[in-house]
Chains A and B, each alone.
Chain A
Amino acid sequence: MAHHEENHDIVVQPANKEHIKKIWKTALILAAVTALEFLLAFTMERGPLLISIYVGLTIIKAFYIVAEFMHLRHESKTLIWSILIPTIFVFWLIVALLMESDGGVPNV
Chain B
Amino acid sequence: MAAEVTLNKPKRSIWDGGQSPFKASYGKLMMWFFLLSDAFTFSSLLIGYGYVRFSLPAYEGSLDNYAASQEVWPVAEMVFDAVPFLHGVHLPLVFVGIMTFILILSSVTMVLAVEAGHRMDRKAVVKYLLWTIIGGVTFLGCQVWEWSHFIAGTEEGLLLADGTRLFGANLLENEYGPQLFANFFFFITGFHGTHVLSGIILLFIVFYNAAVGTYDRRGHYEMVEKIGLYWHFVDLVWVFVFTFFYLV
Contacts and interface: CB of A to CB of B under 8 A. Distances in A.
Interface of A: 3, 6-7, 10-16, 19-20, 23-24, 27, 30-31, 34, 37-38, 41-42, 46, 50-51, 54-55, 57-58, 61-62, 65-66, 68-70, 75-76, 78-79, 82-83, 86-87, 90, 93-94, 97-98, 101-106
Interface string B95-137: 0010011001101101110011011111010000000000000
Interface of B: 21-24, 29, 32, 36, 39-40, 43, 46-47, 50-56, 75, 77, 92-93, 97, 100-101, 104-105, 107-108, 110-112, 115-116, 118-122, 124, 213, 216-217, 219, 228-229, 232-233, 235-236, 239-240, 242-243, 247-248
A10 B216 contact: yes
A12 B119 CA distance: 6
Given A24-B108, A69-B232, A16 B119 contact: yes
27 contacts: A15-B121, A16-B119, A23-B112, A24-B108, A30-B104, A31-B101, A31-B104, A34-B101, A37-B243, A37-B247, A42-B77, A46-B75, A58-B243, A62-B239, A62-B240, A69-B107, A70-B228, A70-B232, A75-B22, A76-B21, A82-B22, A94-B50, A98-B51, A98-B54, A101-B51, A103-B53, A106-B54
Contact of B115 (A23, A65, A66, A93): A23
A69 B228 CA distance: 9
Contacts of B97: 34, 38
Contacts of A30: 104
The dominant DSSP class at the B interface is helix
A103 B107 contact: no
Contact of B56 (A23, A27, A98, A103): A103
Contacts of B54: 98, 101, 103-106
A24 B186 CA distance: 33
Contacts of A16: 115, 119
